[in-house]
Amino acid sequence: MRKVAGVLSLLMALAISLLAGPLYANESQAVKRTVAPSKYDVTKEVTLEGTIQSLVRKPAPGTIMGAHLMVSTGHGTVDAHIGNYFVVGKYAMPFASGESVKLVGIMATINHQSVFLVRTLQTGNSTITVRSDHGFLIYPGAKTHLASISSTGGAR
């Protein structure tokens, strides 16, 4: 059924495109649309491995909003920000104390406090995407397109 729905969606998209008639995209005047380099720099990502100490649903004031994981690593406890989408709702995960995790992300300083911004989180055999490559928290069910994000962005 899922397959059928997928095919139907594809056909619908095709039909809409065909029916769309004459189009006048790209007629804008020559205005340079410069896209700044992302402050979230994937080239500076590091991987941390450790065990979950605790899940902090309501973090201390002054820290970045959303849920944090306190993770014990070989270099001490790391405050890892994961946002709320894997803590409440359809995609909530248990995040049990003592559970092993592998985190990929970058260290950042928000309001004079260090925080590890998690982009992907691996527990057991599953890896979840917490952030986009540009550092935005993303709701897991809504991002099936992420793998095929357009390459048309950038300087024009």
Q: Which of 62, 74, 76, 124 binds other proteins (CB under 8 A)?
A: 62
Rule CB under 8 A: is residue 147 a binding residue for other proteins? no
Q: Which of 2, 4, 24, 125 binds other proteins (CB under 8 A)?
A: 24
Cβ distance to other proteins smaller for residue 42 or 70: 42
Cβ distance to other proteins smaller for residue 12 or 100: 12
Q: Which of 69, 103, 117, 121 binds other proteins (CB under 8 A)?
A: 117
Return the closest-CA partner of residue 52 out of 130, 125, 140, 124.
Answer: 124
Rule CB under 8 A: is residue 131 a binding residue for other proteins? yes
Rule CB under 8 A: is residue 4 a binding residue for other proteins? no
Rule CB under 8 A: is residue 32 a binding residue for other proteins? yes
Q: Which residues pair with 113 in a beta bridge?
A: 110
Rule CB under 8 A: is residue 2 a binding residue for other proteins? no
Give yes or no for a contact between 52 and 96, defined as CB atoms under 8 angstroms apart: yes
Q: Which of 69, 85, 103, 121 binds other proteins (CB under 8 A)?
A: 85
| # binding residues, other proteins (CB under 8 A) | 65
User: Could you give the CA distance from residue 141 to residue 87 in angstroms, rounded to a whole number?
Assistant: 14
Rule CB under 8 A: is residue 53 a binding residue for other proteins? no
Cβ distance to other proteins smaller for residue 98 or 147: 147
Q: How far is the CB of 108 from other proteins (least distance, A)?
A: 5
